[in-house]
Structures are given as C-alpha cells and as structure tokens.
C-alpha cells in the first residue's frame, strides 16, 4: 500500500482516470483489459468513495475507448520501429508500458511531475528499458537526457489541452528539434468544450482545471509546428460499437449524429 494520496488540480485527474480504467477493466466485456490499473487501484491509499458519484462510472467507456485507440497506434508504431524510444508525457498513473507488447529493443520513458512519479514508481517497477522522469513536460532540461538517434513515439494523453497554446508550441518545437523522426499521438477537445470550461467558475469546477488549448481540425497540428504532418484522427464517440452497455452505446451513437457532440473529444496522429 502506498502512503496517503490526495492530489489536487491537474494531478487530481489522474486519480479519476486510474479509477475509471480499473473499473472498466474489471468487467468481463472490458475494452481496455488494463489489469495493471485494477491492481494499482488496490495499492493506492486514497478515499475512492469520493469518485463514487452518479454518472461518473459511465465515463469509464470513453476513457477506455480513448486509451485503446492510442494503444493501437502505439503498437503499430512499435511494430514498424522495434528499436524506438517512447516518451509518454504527463503519464499520471498510466500503465500503457505494461499493457502493450513492447519489443525488446524499445526504450520507454514515462514523464510527469516529481510527486506523481514518486507514486508511479511505487506502482510500476522500473527496468533497463523502462524508466520514469520526475519533471514537468514543459521543462526543457529533462529532454537532454533522452538519446536522440532513435525514432521516437510521443504520447500525450490528457496533457496538451491543459497547457497554454504557447507552451504547446514550445514543447512540440523542442521535440522536433531534438529528434530526427517520429510520431505524435494525443487527444484534444473541441473549441466549444474549452470555452465552456473556461467560463465555469472555479468553485464549481471542484479543483479541475479548464482546458486551455483546443483543436478545431487536424491541420491545426501543422500550424502548431510546421515540421509535424497530420496523419489521421478519430472521435471517441465514433467507437460506440465497442461499448458493451446498451444504454451508453445508444447515447454515444446519438452523439455521433451531431458534429459538435461527435467531435468534442478526438485522438490525433501526426508524424515528423
């Protein structure tokens, strides 16, 4: 069991995500099959009753669908680049490095704030090919520790939308300046969603931060950084057929009939 955990602000979202992934993965019809998350949940000393709120549990399907799409893209990249470096930025308590079948030549780095990584290391063991870095993803110093000669996969799940636009551009520029070739996979919200969260008073957000950098279309990636080339995207709601719960599946299917609702959260893939 870890020591008492009670994060706030952006860091609190990782506890929600861990809880929902574990909840979803305990189902016999699991989309993600994240057994490591389910095991980690039992080892974190946190009052999980705080998250047992009406309606929150149904979000487990969206969380699982988003993660599964990123998993599939990551697995595809690693099949084509079995000697790659992986940088997962703002990793939180994610267990992707253990969900995927990593080729033996892959070097994987999970990056997050020092207090997050302190907890992360108690849950997931480091090894010669799996390391963690306790630093802000926007801090330019840590990137110098990463060898630059290999193809690199950058995973940014639940990160870029929380950063100011200038920080997103600086981060992506540092990455493309450091590495010769690679891919970026990430999730992003639509502009109307970001605007809505920015208008909600802080006391009503209950510690959750607003979204600061939305995305209107995939080509926005190339405007963030001209070295990036947009490849593809998918809306999380479009994966509704994978949802075993008929009620939630019907809700997602209905959302897909309205472009604004369909595209409120998408995952994107780009290369450089």
Where residue 142 sits, what CATH number does that domain have?
Answer: 3.40.50.150
**Helix residue ranges, H only, the chain:** 12-25, 35-41, 60-80, 96-99, 114-123, 165-178, 191-199, 202-205, 220-224, 246-255, 259-262
Task: Sheet with 130-134: list strands edge to edge.
Answer: 130-134, 107-112, 85-89, 152-156, 182-189, 265-271, 229-235
In a domain, 45, yes or no: no
pLDDT at 237: 97
Residue 204 has pLDDT above 60, yes or no: yes
pLDDT of residue 10: 60
Contact 121, 46 (CB under 8 A): no
Quote the pLDDT of residue 60.
95
pLDDT tens, residue by residue, 56-106: 889 999 999 999 999 999 999 999 999 999 999 999 999 999 999 999 999
- Identify the pLDDT of residue 9: 58
| Per-residue confidence band for 265, with pLDDT thresholds at 50, 70 and 90 | very high
Q: Scanning the structure block, which residue is given the tokens 């063991």?
A: 125
Rounded average pLDDT over 109-114 = 96
pLDDT at 113 over 70: yes
Between the alpha carbon of residue 42 and those of residues 23, 46, 63, 78, 167, the distances in Å are 11, 9, 19, 30, 35
Q: Is 8 within the bounds of a domain?
A: no
127, two tokens: 């090894």
Identify the domain containing residue 202 by its residue range. Answer: 61-271
Q: Angle of helix 12-25 relative to helix 60-80, nearest 10 degrees?
A: 90
Distance CA 243, CA 225 (A): 35
Considering the entire predicted model, what is its pTM? 0.94
From first CA to last CA, the distance across the chain in angstroms is 42
Split into its structural domains, the chain has a count of: 1
Report pLDDT for 208: 77
Q: Is residue 12 part of a domain?
A: no
Structure confidence at residue 12 (pLDDT) = 72
pLDDT at 4: 63
Q: Do the domain assignments include residue 2?
A: no
Instruction: Please provide the average confidence, as pLDDT, over all residues in the chain.
Output: 93
For residues 263 and 238, what is the distance between their CA atoms, to the nearest angstrom? 9
Q: What whole-number distance in Å separates Cα of residue 102 and Cα of residue 33?
A: 16
pLDDT-derived band at 52 (thresholds 50, 70, 90) equals confident
Cβ atoms 217, 263 nearer than 8 A: no
**Has residue 205 been placed in a domain?**
yes
Model confidence at 143, pLDDT cuts 50, 70, 90, reads very high
Position 21 in a domain: no
3-state secondary structure of 4: strand
Residue 3 confidence (pLDDT) above 60: no
What pLDDT does 16 receive? Answer: 87
Q: In this structure, is residue 36 part of a structural domain?
A: no
Q: Is 261 contained in some domain?
A: yes
């Amino acid at each position: 069991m870890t020591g008492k955990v009670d994060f706030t602000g952006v860091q609190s979202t990782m506890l929600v995500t861990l809880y929902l992934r574990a909840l979803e993965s305990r189902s016999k019809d699991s989309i993600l099959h994240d057994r490591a998350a389910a095991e980690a949940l039992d080892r974190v000393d946190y009052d999980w009753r705080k998250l047992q709120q009406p309606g929150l549990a149904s979000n487990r399907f969206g969380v699982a669908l988003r993660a599964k799409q990123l998993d599939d893209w990551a697995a595809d990249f690693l099949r084509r680049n079995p000697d790659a470096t992986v940088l997962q930025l703002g990793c939180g308590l994610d267990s992707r490095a253990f969900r995927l079948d990593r080729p033996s030549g892959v070097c994987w780095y999970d990056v997050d704030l020092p207090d997050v990584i302190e907890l992360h290391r108690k849950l997931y063991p480091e090894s010669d090919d799996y390391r963690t870095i306790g630093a802000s993803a926007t801090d330019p110093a840590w990137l110098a520790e990463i060898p630059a000669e290999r193809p690199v996969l950058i995973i940014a799940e639940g990160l870029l939308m929380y950063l100011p636009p200038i920080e997103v551009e600086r981060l992506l520029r540092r990455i493309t300046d450091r590495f010769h070739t690679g891919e970026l996979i990430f999730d992003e919200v639509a502009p109307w969603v970001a605007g809505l969260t920015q208008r909600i008073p802080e006391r009503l957000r209950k510690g959750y931060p607003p979204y600061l950098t939305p995305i209107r279309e995939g080509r926005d990636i190339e405007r963030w950084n001209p070295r990036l080339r947009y490849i593809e995207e998918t809306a999380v709601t479009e994966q509704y057929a994978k949802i075993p719960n008929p009620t939630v599946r019907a809700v997602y299917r209905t959302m897909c009939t309205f472009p604004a609702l369909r595209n409120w959260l998408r995952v994107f893939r780009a290369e450089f």
